[in-house]
A and B are shown apart, each in its own frame.
Chain A
Amino acid sequence: MSATTVFESVCTQLEQRTSLDRLEARGTVRLALKSAGLEPSGVTKEQMSVVLERVLPGELSQRGVDEGAAVCAAIRGELPEDAPTVDSPEAVFARLGGG
C-alpha cells in the first residue's frame, strides 16, 4: 500500500456517492487538496479528514453536488489507515530545528 490509498479511496467513494464521473471526482479532490496546500501523493488520513470537513464540501457545492457536506462526512468515516511512508518534508523540517 502507498500513501495514494487515502487519495484513491476518497476519489472512488466520491464517484460512487455522487453524480461525478471518475475524472471529475479526481479533479475535484485534487483541487481541494491543492487549495489546502496538500498533494495527493503525500496526504495522510488526518489531513484528508480536515479537507473533507472544511474544503471539499465547498468544492462539491460549486459543482452542483447536493448535500456535499453529508457525502464528505460519510467518506470521512471510511478513510483507510495511513500506510508507512517516507519522511514528509514537513516531518523532516520539524526535526531540523532541534527535534
Chain B
Amino acid sequence: MALVGSLYALSTIAFGTLGIAIGIRLLALARRTGGAPERRLGLGIMLTSGCGYMVMVIAAMLGEIAPDRANLSYAYALWLLGAFCHNLGVLAILAFILSVFRPHETWAKGLAGTMGAVLWLSAGADLLSGHPPLNYGPYYWWTLSVTGTYQLWMSAESLRHYAQGRRRLALGLAQPLVVNRFLLWGLASLMGTAAIWSVNVPGILTAGEAVMADPATQLSLVVTAAFGMLTVSLYWLTFFPPRWYRKRLSIPDAGSAS
C-alpha cells in the first residue's frame, strides 16, 4: 500500500509541478504576445493541475496519514484551497475553449455557462452541507459531472482541428508541428479525463465509501498514476517539444503521423 501510495504521490507531484511550470511559461508568453488565449490556458493549467489537483491530493494524504482532529482541520483547509484553485482553473479552460474554438456559437456559451454554474454551485452546496472533511459530499457527483467532462470538450475540439490540419498539410496550408500539437493536446486532454475518472472509480463503486487499503482503490491509484504520467509526457511534447521531435515533424515523409 505504501508503494502504491508513493507512486501515486510522485506522479501527482510530477503532474502538478509540470502544470505550474507550463502555466508560468504560458503566462510569460502571454505577456510577450498580449494573447488572451495563452493567458487563459496558462492560468487554467496552473490552477487545475498545480495549485488545484496536486494540493487537493496532498491534503487528502495528510488527512490519511494523521487523521486527528487538528490535522484534519488543516488538511481540509488545504483541500478547500486546492478545490477553489482547481475550479477557477476549470473556468479559465472553458473560457479558452470558447474563445479559441467556438467564439461565435451561442450553444457553446450556454454549455460553458451551465458547466461553470453546476461546478461552483455544487461545490458551494457541498461546503455548506457540513459533510465530514475530506469525504465525498452529497453534491460531489454534480461537481464530477463537470470536472470529468470539460477536458473531453477540449479533446474533441483539438482532435477535430487535427483532422482538418492533416488535410491542410496536404495543400501546404499548415505547419506540421502545429498540426501535431492539436493531436498531442487532444490526447493529453483525453488522458487527463481518464485520470480523473480512474481515481474516482472506487468512490463510484462504493457510493463514496472507498477505503485506501482496498485492492480496488490501490489499483485505481496505480492506473491513475499511469494516466497522470502519460498526461505529463504529452504536456511536455505539446509545450516543450525537444529539438529532435521538432526536426522529425519538419521533414515530411510518408510515415509521418502529422
Contact = CB atoms under 8 A, between A and B. Distances in A.
Interface residues of A, number: 24
B33 interface: yes
Interface string A1-31: 0000000000000000000000000000000
A66 B211 CA distance: 73
B94 interface: no
Interface of B: 26, 29, 32-33, 35, 37-38, 41, 99-101, 103-104, 157, 161, 163-168, 171-175, 177-178, 181-182, 185, 238-239, 241
A61 interface: no
A92 B171 contact: no
Contacts, number: 75
B187 to A, nearest CB: 14
A36 B100 contact: no
User: Which DSSP category, helix, strand, loop or mixed, fits chain B's interface?
Assistant: helix
A97 B163 contact: no
Contacts of B241: 97
13 contacts: A36-B168, A37-B165, A37-B166, A37-B167, A50-B171, A50-B173, A51-B171, A86-B99, A89-B161, A92-B37, A93-B161, A97-B239, A98-B29
Nearest to A98: B29
Interface in A26-43: 35-39, 41
